[in-house]
Amino acid sequence: MAEEQGRTEKPGDNIMQRLNIQEIDQAITTAVAKHIPLSLSIQSNHWINLRSRFIDVREGCLIVELPSAHDEEPHEFVPAERISLSFKLKHHKYLGSTRVRGITQFSLEDDTKIPVLSLCFPMHMQRLKRRSFTRVNVPEGRIVRASFWPGGKDCEPTGPSSDVPVWSGSVEDISAGGFQVHLRADQVPALEVGQIVGVRIVFGVGDESIYTDAQFRHCSPSDGTERFTAGFQFVGLVHTEEGRTALQTIARKMNEFVRFARNSHRCLALASRSRAVCD
């Protein structure tokens, strides 16, 4: 642990580490012992995000609280249904996928029985550095553009005659978890909080881009301007190869923005000292 905390992170470091079965077992055991909250995600016609909590591991099954939905109708779980899970533990965020066993009864210490969700023990899991979820501002002088549309990335309009609206703006900050974008008043989206959108973020002319799903979180006026700021949370990035590639792109750009801002500050400080000497 001391070695991990003392390690100097290099630009472009892989923010995602694939765990072996022993590491997965250790993480799940710790999460169960502390009854840590976890998020569950299911993709049907759209992404459904659910809240739960670790309860126990029994007979090779992971037992969690019967999940509650984020402002949605309760989900009807189906045996063998694929489900993604994520939770925070110490300095990392853990993400994995498994399948539903079903809803069963769990006996508490006072013999009270409660309904719980039984999952197959996850055999595949990744670990991400939690600092990768800390937003990094896009530095002055760098232009990052985002366009988004309702219905998810697969609903991207194919031409200007499409009935699907597309909004766009400049990205203010970004992390592995989401981003905020500045919008003109005529670009404020007609979206409901929690609605899934498709997103394309371009990190500059001729530069890399990412293409993914996201969840609309908020939109409010920017202080002292006629512009608005909209916030989005990335959805499902860790669960596909395309999404994991996007995460690596985001990590590289975050490191690049931090270096760019640091060098800009150094140049300004040197210029200020030079002027002071000349004066």
Does the pLDDT of residue 260 top 70, yes or no? Answer: yes
Q: Is the pLDDT of residue 273 over 90?
A: no
Q: Is the pLDDT of residue 183 over 90?
A: yes
Mean of pLDDT values over 260-271: 65
Write the CATH number of the domain with boundaries 134-270: 2.40.10.220
Q: What is the reported pTM?
A: 0.70
Q: Supply the mean pLDDT for the chain.
A: 85
User: Is the pLDDT assigned to residue 57 strictly greater than 90?
Assistant: yes
Of the pLDDT bands very low, low, confident and very high (cuts 50, 70, 90), residue 9 is very low
Specify the pLDDT at position 3.
38
**Does residue 271 register a pLDDT over 60?**
no
**In whole angstroms, what is the distance from residue 129 CA to residue 16 CA?**
7
Give the DSSP H/E element, type plus range, for residue 123. Answer: none
Residue 75: which pLDDT band, with cuts at 50, 70 and 90? Answer: confident
Residue 258's pLDDT band, with cuts at 50, 70 and 90, is confident
CATH topology assigned to domain 2-131 = Pnp Oxidase; Chain A (2.30.110)
Q: For 116-143, b where at least 16 C-beta lie within 10 A, e where not — what string?
A: bbbbebbeebbbbbeebeeebebbeebe
What are 185-221's pLDDT values in tens digits?
Answer: 888 998 999 899 999 999 987 889 999 999 999 999 9
Query: Model confidence over 113-122: pLDDT tens digits?
Result: 999 999 999 9
Q: Tell me the pLDDT band of 274, cut-offs 50, 70 and 90.
A: low
Interior/surface letters 23-62, b for 16+ CB within 10 angstroms, e for the rest: ebeebbeebbeeebebbbbbbeeebbbbebbbbebeeebb
Percent of the chain with pLDDT over 70: 85
Residue 75's CB is within 10 A of a number of other CB atoms, namely: 18
The dihedral region occupied by 206, where left means phi > 0, alpha psi between -120 and 50, and beta the remainder, is left
**What is the arithmetic mean of pLDDT over 18-46?**
91
- Residues 6 or more apart whose CB falls under 8 angstroms from that of 18 comprise 124, 125, 126
> Residue ranges per domain, the chain?
2-131, 134-270
What proportion of the chain, given as a percentage, has pLDDT over 90?
48
